Homo-oligomer: A and B are copies of this chain.
Amino acid sequence: MGSRQTSTVHGLRRENRARALWDLYLHGPGSRQRIGAGAGVSTGTVSNVVGDLMEQGLVQESGSVPSGGGRPSSIVQIDPGYAFVVGVDVGESSVLVELFDLAMQVRGRHRIPTELTRLAPAEVVEQIVAGVAAVLAQSGVATDDVLGVGVGVPGLVEHSPLAVVHAQTVGWDAVPLEALLHERTALPLAVDNGAKLLGQAEHWFGAARGAADVVVVLLGHGLGTSIFTRGSGAWAPMSSPGEWGHTAVVVDGQPCRCGARGCLEAYVGAGAVAARYDVLRGGPAEGPDDLETRVTELLARADSDPASATVLAELVRYLGAGIGNLVNVYSPSRVVLGGWLGRQVAELRMPELAAAAAQNALRTPFEDVELLRADLGADAVALGAATLPVGRFLSSGGQRDAVLGSRPA
């Protein structure tokens, strides 16, 4: 990761290009005045910078709005079709590849059902490569017009500097995924944890949008979080609590699939919920094999089935404690609860969840916090992954070459 090159007078222009682009990206089409105000530069400079960007074709005029008795603002925007990005979601049961334009509209989609635990990493790489080829073919987009491929994976991602994936739960031990992908594609790559990327998507486009300090909690089979704190807005990389699901909330408590005991995931993860229900019912129940379906159905009858109600209440208690912990540590102004299971819990028991969190949080940080359900579905992992090359592109000031980024030496 090269440090910010703002020492030279040339880097200055790049910085101002980047600011203009981020402004247009995050706040939508706007006038040159707004860009100037947001970036803290004079209107003269904005004219110059925007002129450059229009010449390059990245930015285009898009109408004008009246301005109360004066010359109307002419509105500029990023051309959505200037370039494209690919987002990949390597999930436990499928690999999803999506192609987006710069407005993050889906231009192509390709899903490959798979069982991650039974696949060698090399096979996953092949699926990704095939998926990328498929979405490009579908949409007729040329490889040269793709800025890069973002990939979301389960587990812990170590950047050293190429991404290496450690995902004990699916049997990936130090898989050099980025290096493997580099052998099979020339496109710039960016790999990160799927939960973090879903959080990123919520932060850019969903319920976490616009909040200064926000925590996104993702609850499904596993449990993860993304933290965005002041100052680390669009300009800085996001903060990265990796494996929050495996923090102890009951020292020496329930055994967890990670090998430790008392992890939060061992109380609120889908597997834990299903298992606890079986215990309450005195044995494994009949029902669908698929964990997601089973848990969904189970929770849906919480109003009629006492065991289900108990399971849900316990889930709320522990998840609330976990959220309380996050609030104490980060003092966010907003907490967003996502993931297929998290969204269901939010639907069914939001008030109870807030109360449980309040019980475990200090009054001061908690009284300012908003607890919300996530806007975006689970598919948004691919969207979040796609934000990675977009972010690089914008921060580079819209220079394609600069996006290349993490190539092996």
Given contact pairs A168-B362, A363-B168, A365-B242, A325 touches B6 in the complex (Cβ within 8 A): no
Q: Is the CB of A364 within 8 A of B158?
A: yes
Q: Which of A92-137 contact B (CB under 8 A)?
A: none
Q: In the bound complex, what is the Cα–Cα distance between A162 and B36 (angstroms)?
A: 28
Digitize A1-20: 1 where CB-to-B-CB distance is under 8 Å, 0 elsewhere: 10101111100100110010
Digitize A235-276: 1 where CB-to-B-CB distance is under 8 Å, 0 elsewhere: 011011111101111111100001111100001000000000
A173 → B minimal CB distance (Å):
8
Query: With an 8 A cutoff between CB atoms, is A156 at the interface?
Result: yes
Given contact pairs A156-B331, A231-B237, A325 touches B12 in the complex (Cβ within 8 A): no
- Count of A interface residues, CB-CB < 8 Å: 61
Query: With an 8 A cutoff between CB atoms, is A41 at the interface?
Result: yes
Q: Is the CB of B318 within 8 A of A251?
A: yes
Q: In the bound complex, what is the Cα–Cα distance between A325 and B168 (angstroms)?
A: 17
Query: Which B residues lie within 8 Å of A252 (CB)?
Result: 317
Q: Interface on A for B, CB 8 Å cutoff?
A: 1, 3, 5-9, 12, 15-16, 19, 39-41, 45, 156, 158, 166, 168, 174, 229, 231, 236-237, 239-244, 246-253, 258-262, 267, 317-318, 321-322, 324-325, 328-331, 359-365
A-B contact pairs, 23 of them (CB 8 A): A5-B40, A7-B15, A7-B16, A7-B41, A8-B41, A12-B12, A156-B365, A168-B363, A229-B240, A241-B329, A242-B331, A243-B362, A247-B325, A248-B322, A248-B325, A249-B249, A249-B250, A249-B251, A250-B250, A250-B253, A251-B267, A251-B360, A259-B362
Given contact pairs A5-B40, A361-B260, A362-B156, A328 touches B251 in the complex (Cβ within 8 A): no
Q: Is the CB of A328 within 8 A of B250?
A: no
